[in-house]
Amino acid sequence: MNGSGYEAPRTVEETVTLLQQANGAARVLAGGTDLLAQMKMGMTSPALLIDVKKIPELASIEQTADGGFRIGAAVCGAALAEHAALVAAWPGIVEAARLIGSEQIQGRASLGGNLCNGSPAADSVPALIAAGATCTIAGPGGTRSVAVEDVITAPGKTCLATGELVVDFRLPPRPDGSDARAAKAGDAYLRMIPRSEMDIAIVGAGVSLTLDEAGVCTAARVGLGAVAATPLRVDAAAAALIGTTLDDAALAAAGEAASAAARPIDDKRGTIAYRKQVAGVLTRRAAKIALARAGGNG
Amino acid sequence: MARRHVSTRVNGEPVEFLCEPHQTLLDVLRDELQLTGTKEGCGTGDCGACSVMLDGRLICSCLALAAEVEGAEVRTVEGIASGNELHPLQRHFLEEAALQCGICTPGFLVAAKALLDGNPDPTEREVRFALAGNLCRCTGYDKIIRAVLDSAAELRGEA
Ligand SMILES: Cc1cc2nc3c(=O)[nH]c(=O)nc-3n(C[C@H](O)[C@H](O)[C@H](O)COP(=O)(O)OP(=O)(O)OC[C@H]3O[C@@H](n4cnc5c(N)ncnc54)[C@H](O)[C@@H]3O)c2cc1C
Ligand code: FES
Ligand code: FES
């Protein structure tokens, strides 16, 4: 790899200036597990790599004043798993991020890189969509907040303009379960791969639920990966769960809605019919796990 | 082309080197610092032969830039033994024939040490998952897994 430049700025502002000056010839470097691999395979050869791991906002996890979380875009998967409060509140997001690659990849791979690489099969993205996560995007015009499901626009393409980078992900507050009579919440992510480890998802499904004190689902979101050109938010599957106790009929309806929403392609790893069916099965199973985590009668 | 000056620590010793901006950590370890224990298998993050520790985390050095380790702490397979005394993992790999050609071995040792440092008593399943990023084309893995489990037992004082 013969590119000429490497910078490791300490602030978001410097990063935006560097990206703007390079005018498309620079790339953000987080863990490099997509970018450096693509450079080695000759798929891209950016002149300038801007390492964002030394910027405090991108490298840290915080609980916010409202009880939500702010996860720096460049935090690696292994560090997510070490944050006990995050694991307790959002086990589905952490399990999705932890499915990315091997332990070696986990030492580097970030949520920001997983999203901005733009793969339809990116494992953390359906879980972030289910969570209702937004990302903070900084650029020459200041910062904007964008729902995760609106970032990937086509395979390998995002809504980021030249000069923009993802700073962090914001997760909404969760009922904390400390009061047995109050609302509870849970999330889960499952993926189907042909092997038991180290493979690309044929289908990924993330589900996040909130239950009221009686165990009735008051809010739900469903995200699907690898079944369309971009990861999907499936409102019809969520609607099938809301207002129910996630009885078998509700789970079946959510699964059917997920299968119907899936618009997969046929490829060597799975046929259209198989992927549509698995989208339904994984949505049902992930919903049951989320229910159990929320303390419902799963 | 402007070479970058990098100051870092490798296996506890201060080290300085010059590198190309996009040169990998793996290439600098092997070609500039003559630390050839770290191997290149695939060069794309799939095989784990290039495993090293960077600031306490297991990574593939083929997917890291040398320029990134400014001010960092790098640990390689060369730092696992204490002087002439092999680490129990190295001894068990030898005694239990957990290697044939040996190209995967340094990566397995670094990854297995990272596992045992964090989890002294892993199950066989945990060892298999933790080492899923290390490929071996020779041994069939069983002897490697056994050597790691036996090393863990010895390190816990049970063997
Ligand atoms: C062996 C192996 C196994 C893998 N397995 C999986 C898997 O199971 N599931 C999966 O989903 N992925 C997998 N991946 C892909 C990859 O590891 C993930 O997509 C990872 O999350 C990428 O994160 P990163 O920090 O390494 O990104 P990088 O490679 O640093 O960046 C990826 C892209 O995003 C851009 N980018 C990064 N951060 C930002 C930011 N903050 N703002 C704007 N742009 C940014 C970069 O410019 C680049 O284009 C695997 C990769 C390897 C090598
Ligand atoms: S050489 Fe780095 S993972 Fe194969
Ligand atoms: S001993 Fe030859 S690759 Fe493992």
| B148-159 confidence digits (pLDDT tens) | 999 999 999 997
| One domain for residues B92 and B75 | no
When divided into structural domains, chain B yields a total of 2
Q: Any residues with Cβ below 6 Å from ligand 1, and which?
A: A 27-35, 37, 52, 73-74, 99-101, 105, 108-110, 112-114, 116-117, 122-123, 160, 165-166; B 45-46
Reference A97, options A118, A112, A119, A116; nearest CA is: A112
Give the H or E element holding residue B90: helix B88-95
Tokens standing for residue A168: 């962090």
- pLDDT exceeding 70 applies to what percent of chain A? 96
Domains and their CATH numbers in chain A = 5-171 (3.30.465.10), 184-293 (3.30.390.50)
For residues B72 and B113, membership in a common domain is answered with no
Same domain, B61 and B95: no
pLDDT mean over A25-33: 97
CA of B105 to the centre of ligand 2 (A): 13
User: Model pTM?
Assistant: 0.96
Question: Does residue B75 sit in the same domain as residue B8?
Answer: yes
**Final residue of a domain: which of B44, B79, B114?**
B79
Q: What confidence tens digit (pLDDT) does each residue in A239-297 have?
A: 999 999 999 999 999 999 999 999 999 988 889 999 999 999 999 999 999 999 998 75
Q: Does A1 touch chain B (CB under 8 A)?
A: yes
pLDDT of residue A242: 98
For residue B140, pLDDT beyond 80: yes
**For residue B77, is pLDDT > 60?**
yes
- DSSP letters, chain A, are ----EEE--SSHHHHHHHHHHHTTSEEEESS-TTHHHHHHTTS---SEEEE-TTSGGGS-EEE-TTS-EEEETT-BHHHHHT-HHHHHH-HHHHHHHHTSS-HHHHTT-BHHHHHHTT-TT-THHHHHHHHT-EEEEEETTEEEEEEGGGTEEETTEESPPTT-EEEEEEE-----S-STTS-EEEEEEEEE-SSSSS---SEEEEEEEEE-TTS-EEEEEEEEESSSSS-EE-HHHHHHHTTS---HHHHHHHHHHHHHH-----BTTB-HHHHHHHHHHHHHHHHHHHHHHTT---
B63/A3 CB distance under 8 A: no
Measured between beta carbons, the chain A residues lying within 8 angstroms of B1 are 2, 4
Q: Decide: helix, strand or coil at residue B18.
A: strand
Q: What is the mean pLDDT of residues B130-141?
A: 96
What count of other Cβ atoms lies within 10 Å of the Cβ of residue A180?
A: 8
* Closest CA relative to residue A69, chosen from A53, A90, A100, A96: A90
Residue A179 pLDDT level (bands cut at 50, 70, 90): low
**How confident is the model at residue A200, as a pLDDT?**
86
CA distances from A287 to A164, A290, B56 (A): 35, 5, 36
d(CA A186, CA A289): 8
Same domain, B9 and B75: yes
Would you say A136 and A238 are in contact if contact means Cβ atoms under 8 Å apart?
no
Confidence at residue A182, expressed as pLDDT on a 0 to 100 scale: 74
Enter the tokens of residue B12. Answer: 């506890």
| Listed residue (B88, B64, B21) closest to A104, CA to CA | B64
| Whether A173 contacts chain B with CB within 8 A | no
- Co-location of B93 and B64 in the same domain: no
B45 lines ligand 2 (CB under 6 A): yes
Q: What is the pLDDT of residue B66?
A: 98
Over residues B84-90, mean pLDDT: 97
Ligand sitting nearest the alpha carbon of A73: 1
The β-bridge relationship of strands A69-72 and A165-171 is antiparallel
**Average model confidence (pLDDT) across chain A:** 95
Mean pLDDT across chain B:
97
| Same domain (yes/no): B61, B122 | no
* pLDDT at res. A4: 79
**Listed residues B45, B79, B113: the one ending a domain:** B79
Q: In which band, very low, low, confident or very high, does the pLDDT at A298 lie, cut at 50, 70 and 90?
A: very low
A123-A127-A131 Cα angle (round to 5): 160
Residue B14: give the domain boundaries.
Answer: 4-79
- Is it the case that residue A178 has pLDDT exceeding 70? no
Q: Is the CB of B140 under 6 A from ligand 3?
A: no
The Cα B61–Cα A147 span in angstroms is 34
The answer to whether A103 contacts B54, with C-beta atoms less than 8 Å apart, is no
Q: Are residues B66 and B132 in the same domain?
A: no
What single-letter amino acid sits at A72? G
Nearest-angstrom CA–CA distance, A41 and A149: 29
Q: Which of B79, B101, B119 delimits the end of a domain?
A: B79
Residues B67 and B133 occupy one common structural domain? no
- Residue A207 CA to residue A92 CA, distance in Å, equals 8
Say what the ipTM of the complex is: 0.97
At B105 the three-state DSSP class reads: helix
* pLDDT attached to residue A3: 60
Q: pLDDT digits over B24-69, tens only?
A: 999 999 999 999 999 999 999 999 999 999 999 999 999 999 999 9
Domain shared by B13 and B46, yes or no: yes
Return the pLDDT at B17. Answer: 98
Query: A34: buried, middle or exposed (CB in 10 Å: 19+, 13-18, 0-12)?
Result: buried
Residue B2, pLDDT score: 80
* Inter-chain touch A104–B60, beta carbons under 8 Å: yes
The pLDDT, as a whole number, for residue A274 is 95
Question: Quick one: pLDDT band at residue A1, thresholds 50, 70, 90?
Answer: low
Claim to verify: residue B71 and residue B114 sit in the same structural domain: no
Lowest mean pLDDT among A234-238, A254-258, B1-5, B141-145: B1-5
CA of A108, nearest ligand number: 1
In this prediction, residues A85-97 reach a mean pLDDT of 97
> Is B1 near chain A, with CB under 8 Å?
yes
Whether residue B67 lies within 8 A of chain A, CB to CB, comes out as yes
CATH classification at residue B64:
3.10.20.30
B72 shares a domain with B113: no
Residue A175 pLDDT level (bands cut at 50, 70, 90) = confident
- B138 Cα to the center of ligand 3, angstroms: 4
- CATH of residue B121: 1.10.150.120
Query: What would the two tokens of residue B49 be?
Result: 């032969």
pLDDT at A78: 98
